[in-house]
Amino acid sequence: MNDKIIIYYESLTGNVEKFISKMKSYEDFEFIKISSETIVEKEGHLITFTTGFGQISKNTDFFLTNNENYKKIKTVCSSGNMNWGKNFAKAGELINEKYGIYFIFKFELSGTLQDVKEYTRKIKKYEKERECN
């Protein structure tokens, strides 16, 4: 793996932003904060949050639809609050259903250091397996 792994992300309350901050110690990642107008030029992975009662944020949904960005997103990871029960981090499941993007991981609020380790391990494994195929 010569290039950095691209992580596209959206944060509303700061939880995803904090998760990203914890990931910055891993040098093999590049982070791009999305807006509804972001055009994906290089394939990457998405981290987003769950809003309302287990919904995809409008901005993330538009980002994925805009310019067919979803075709260049390999995996999705979502944050949420376990207080929402079955709707915890539901945005990732919905993105998987709507766009066919592999739902790789979910974490609560801003995630723990263990969550960051587990997510980065899964992403690196995913990338390595793709290189071999």
Domain ranges of the chain: 5-132
pLDDT band at 2 (very low <50, low <70, confident <90, very high): low
What mean pLDDT do residues 20-38 have? Answer: 92
Given a cut of 80, whether residue 43 has pLDDT beyond it is: yes
How many CA atoms lie less than 13 Å away from 56 in the CB half-sphere?
21
Residue appearing with tokens 């769950």 = 50
Mean pLDDT of 66-88: 93
- pLDDT of 133 reads 65
CB 47 within 8 A of CB 91: no
- Per-residue confidence at 1, pLDDT binned at 50, 70, 90? very low
Residue 5, helix vs strand vs coil: strand
Q: For residue 96, is pLDDT > 90?
A: yes
Q: Domain 5-132 - what CATH class? A: alpha beta
Do the Cβ atoms of 92 and 76 come closer than 8 Å?
A: yes
